[in-house]
Amino acid sequence: TNPGGRYHLNLERPYHRAILRLLYKACDRFKVDPKDAFEEIVLNPGKYVHAERKRRGVWAVPRHGQLDITFSVERGMQSALQGKDDYDFAEIIQDHYTLSRLRPSFRKVTPLLAQWRHMTGHEAEQIVLLEA
């Protein structure tokens, strides 16, 4: 899915910092510079400085303040699809899905499958998991 949109994050909340880290990871996945993906950045109080990647690939995001941002990976999508035949819709859609679908890491596949098995017989919950 496309993570683009407007975000209002309270950086004192761990969940909101995790969302910000996921947005930085989306920049990596779509091969977009964070300076291009993050727009209309307002941090209260203070001035926002983009996060840096620390050891083991973890993004060091700020821990204080209210952050309002607009996030867009459209430039990355456009550059990835550049040079494709405009009328080869199947290839364009396949490339779009390849870029936008999340692929869980190997460490997370086992817990996901365990959760799926736990939901056996609960079709509605399984559909929600698939659509998430």
C-alpha to C-alpha distance for 88 and 96, rounded to whole angstroms: 12
Give tens-digit pLDDT for 6-53. 999 999 999 999 999 999 988 888 888 898 889 999 999 889 989 888
Cα separation, 41 vs 87, whole angstroms: 37
Beta bridge partners of 66: 10, 44
Nearest-angstrom CA–CA distance, 82 and 79: 5
Q: What is the distance between the alpha carbons of residues 49 and 10, in angstroms, rounded to a whole number?
A: 16
Q: For the residues 46-73, what does the mean pLDDT come to? A: 89
Supply φ then ψ for residue 46, to 5 degrees.
105, -175
pLDDT, tens digit, 9 for 90 and up, residues 72-100 = 888 777 776 777 777 888 887 887 777 77
Cα separation, 21 vs 15, whole angstroms: 10
Beta bridge partners of 52: 60
| Position 1 pLDDT exceeds 70 | no
The tens digit of pLDDT for each residue in 94-132 reads 877 777 777 778 888 898 899 989 999 999 988 888 876
